[in-house]
Structure formats: structure tokens, C-alpha cells
């Protein structure tokens, strides 16, 4: 009997060796979620990281926020000293050499403009100026003012050189507004910084532009709520997220009223008017920058054209909410959306939302 035990001992030892990593994992130091929130980029940025080591977690969080602050200082149109503002001041006079990052975001935006057939367009700055004035003074711009602004809008007037990293404008008075994509880019960059720091799981939320990777302690997936565009307390769905971005662009966060009518902060660059067809658009993609720009574009295109476009693109899904008749909301989704986010029709109906197939 004893002899028999001796014979099996090497096997038991080998088994222990095999199990060792599993045991080490389950008995390892406890992992927690560390979360920090800061106002940045005209919104609230929230970063959550999973770590077993508090100083390591806080170091990584600080680095992620530093990265977002750095990009805000580069890409904000509101700061006179940003690289973007310098480009806007000089771009009509001569080709301006810009940093590789700013160049990348501009080039990506121009390509998204083509993808969305002009619905997403970073040259909307002259129109945004007109509509911000309308929001402030409560007087709508006149058709001739819109026509005039439209002459200075259009990605086709932006001239870039990939070799020189220069950007210039073919029409005087043009300017770029990265408000529809910079937040997403900053979220992607914050994620890259966390990964470089060895953070194995995190969620970055830049005011509705989210990227999540890895899992929460206890092997739970990150979940992102899809907000009801007319009820801040309600959620339409909970989207599980791993190594993906989800971005929502809506008419409910930022809008203004003139003469009893509600106007969105997103404009249709082709017509010069504010986007009116859509209450909210949620896009799921592999980069937050891409999802951000695409969500803005789909919001302008509206549900039919917008979802047809999403269905034609690889690895992207979207959900679009519009106002139907009788105060009811309608939800339409791209062909593979339900594979990335389960929807409960009865739950939706209880919230006044009809799923339109």
C-alpha cells in the first residue's frame, strides 16, 4: 500500500505543478476597481482600472488623465493657444505643419467625411459659430447667413500632405472643429496609456464615449448603459463591452431652444441646419475615435440612411432612436446589433420605446 503511494507521488507532484498557476491566481492578492472622475474636454471623464496594487492603479490613472489633458490642449477650438487654433488662424494663408497626432485625427476625419457622404465634416466651424450665436441670442440665422457660412464648409476644401504633415484651407475663413471626434480619440489614447502601464482591465468614459477592455474582478464583464434619450433615469439596454468602444451621440445632452423649438448642437454640413431627424445614436466599434465620428455622422443621416451605411461597414453596429408619432420613441438597430447587445422588447415597450424591425 505504502509502496503504491510512493509510486503515484510523482504524478501528484506533476498535477500540483499544473494546478499551481490556477491556485496562485485564485489565492493571489485581491483585485479592486479604482475609479477617478475629472472634468476635461468640456465633459466629465471617468476612468476605472482593475488592479491589485493601489499605487500602481493611481499612477496609471494619473497618466491616463494627463494624456486626455494633453490632447485637449492640442485639439480644443476654444483655446487660443491650442495647435488646432493656430492651424485655424493660419491655414487659409499657407500650409501649416502639424504634429503627427493632429494630422492623424484630421486625416481620419476627412476619410470619415467620405464614408458618411459629408454628414460628418470637421469643417463645420463656420456653421457652429452661427448656431452658437443663435443659441446665445435666441435668434435663428438667416438663410443668407447660412448660405454664406456654407461657402466655407466642406472637407473637399481641406488640403493635406501626408509626407509633409501639412494642412491648409482652399477657401478663406475656413476652420476645423474636432468636437465630433477628439473626445473619442482621447479615450482611445487614454486606453493605450493604461495598457502601456500594464493595467489588464479598464473602462474609460469620456462623456458618453466609452472604451472597455478586460474584465472586472470576479470575471464580470464591463457593462455600459444605453440611455433613454428622454428619461435620464432610464436605460434602454445594458451593453457588455470587451476590447470595444461604444459611443452615444444624442440631442439631449447639449441643445438649445429658440421660439419654443429645440435645436441640436450637431449640424448638417450639407444644408447648414441643425440635425433634426434623430434623438440618439449609439455606435459600437473597435475604436472610440471612429465610433465618435460615425455616431455624429449617423445622427445627421437619420435612421434609414445611417443604418444602411453602418450595415455596409465591417465590424460596426449601431442603434438609432427617433421620435415616432404620438410621443412614442422608435428604436432601429443595424443587422448585427443584437449580437453585441441583447434587447428586451417588452422592457422597451414599458419605457415607451417601440423596436422597429
Contact residues for ligand ADP, defined by CB under 6 A:
120-122, 124, 128, 177, 179-180, 208, 249, 253-254, 265-267, 269, 292, 296, 300
Q: CB of residue 210 vs Mg ion: minimum separation in angstroms?
A: 13
292 binds Mg ion (CB under 5 A): yes
Contact 292, 265 (CB under 8 A): no
For ligand ADP, the nearest residue by Cβ is: 179
206 binds Mg ion (CB under 5 A): no
Give phi and psi for 93, each to the nearest 5.
-95, -40
Contact 209, 255 (CB under 8 A): no
Q: CB of residue 24 vs ligand ADP: minimum separation in angstroms?
A: 43
Q: CB of residue 117 vs ligand ADP: minimum separation in angstroms?
A: 12
296 binds Mg ion (CB under 5 A): yes
Strand-pair category, 329-333 with 353-355: parallel
121 binds Mg ion (CB under 5 A): no
Instruction: Name which of Mg ion, ligand ADP, none residue 185 binds, using a CB cut-off of 5 to 8 Å depending on partner kind.
Output: none
Instruction: Name which of ligand ADP, Mg ion, none residue 177 binds, using a CB cut-off of 5 to 8 Å depending on partner kind.
Output: ligand ADP
Nearer to ligand ADP, 126 or 208 (CB): 208
Nearer to Mg ion, 241 or 266 (CB): 266
Angstrom distance (rounded) from CA 317 to CA 28 = 38
CA-nearest of 54, 181, 59 to 110 is: 181
113 binds Mg ion (CB under 5 A): no
Starting from the edge strand earliest in sequence, which strands make up the sheet with 201-206, in order? 32-40, 43-51, 201-206, 209-213, 244-250, 280-285, 317-323, 329-333, 353-355
Q: How many CB atoms lie within 10 A of CB 63?
A: 15
Kindly identify the residues of this chain, within the stretch 134-193, that bind Mg ion according to CB under 5 A: 180
Sign of CA dihedral 192, 197, 202, 204: negative
Residues binding Mg ion (CB under 5 A): 180, 249, 292, 295-296
Amino acid at each position: 500500500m505504502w509502496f503504491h503511494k510512493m509510486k503515484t507521488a510523482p504524478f501528484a507532484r506533476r498535477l500540483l505543478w499544473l494546478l499551481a498557476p490556477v491556485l496562485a491566481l485564485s489565492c493571489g492578492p485581491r483585485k479592486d476597481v479604482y475609479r477617478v472622475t475629472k472634468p476635461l474636454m468640456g465633459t466629465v471623464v471617468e476612468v476605472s482600472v482593475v488592479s491589485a496594487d493601489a499605487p500602481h492603479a493611481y499612477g496609471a490613472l494619473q497618466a491616463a488623465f494627463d494624456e486626455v489633458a494633453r490632447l485637449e490642449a492640442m485639439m480644443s477650438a476654444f483655446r487660443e493657444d491650442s495647435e488646432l487654433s493656430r492651424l485655424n488662424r493660419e491655414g487659409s494663408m499657407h500650409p501649416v505643419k502639424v504634429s503627427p497626432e493632429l494630422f492623424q485625427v484630421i486625416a481620419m476625419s476627412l476619410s470619415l467625411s467620405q464614408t458618411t457622404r459629408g454628414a460628418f465634416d470637421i469643417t463645420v466651424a463656420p456653421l457652429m459659430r452661427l448656431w452658437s450665436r443663435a443659441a446665445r441670442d435666441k435668434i435663428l440665422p438667416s438663410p443668407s447667413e447660412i448660405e454664406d457660412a456654407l461657402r466655407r464648409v466642406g472637407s473637399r476644401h481641406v488640403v493635406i500632405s501626408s509626407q509633409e504633415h501639412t494642412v491648409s484651407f482652399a477657401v478663406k475663413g475656413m476652420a476645423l472643429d474636432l468636437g465630433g471626434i477628439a473626445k473619442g480619440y482621447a479615450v482611445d489614447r487614454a486606453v493605450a496609456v493604461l495598457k502601456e502601464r500594464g493595467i489588464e482591465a479598464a473602462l474609460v468614459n469620456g462623456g458618453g464615449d466609452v472604451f472597455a477592455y478586460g474584465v472586472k474582478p470576479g470575471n464580470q464583464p464591463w457593462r455600459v448603459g444605453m440611455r433613454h434619450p428622454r428619461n435620464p433615469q432610464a436605460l434602454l439596454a445594458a451593453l457588455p463591452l470587451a476590447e470595444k468602444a461604444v459611443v452615444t451621440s444624442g440631442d439631449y445632452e447639449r441643445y438649445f431652444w429658440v421660439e419654443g423649438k429645440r435645436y441640436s448642437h450637431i449640424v448638417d454640413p450639407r444644408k447648414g441646419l441643425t440635425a433634426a431627424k434623430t434623438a440618439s445614436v449609439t455606435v459600437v466599434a473597435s475604436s472610440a475615435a471612429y465610433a465618435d465620428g460615425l455616431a455624429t455622422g449617423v445622427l445627421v443621416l437619420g435612421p434609414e440612411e445611417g443604418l444602411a451605411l453602418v450595415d455596409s461597414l465591417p465590424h460596426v453596429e449601431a442603434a438609432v432612436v427617433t421620435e415616432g408619432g404620438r410621443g412614442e420613441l422608435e428604436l432601429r438597430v443595424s443587422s448585427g446589433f443584437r449580437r453585441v447587445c441583447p434587447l428586451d422588447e417588452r422592457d422597451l415597450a414599458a419605457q415607451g420605446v417601440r423596436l422597429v424591425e
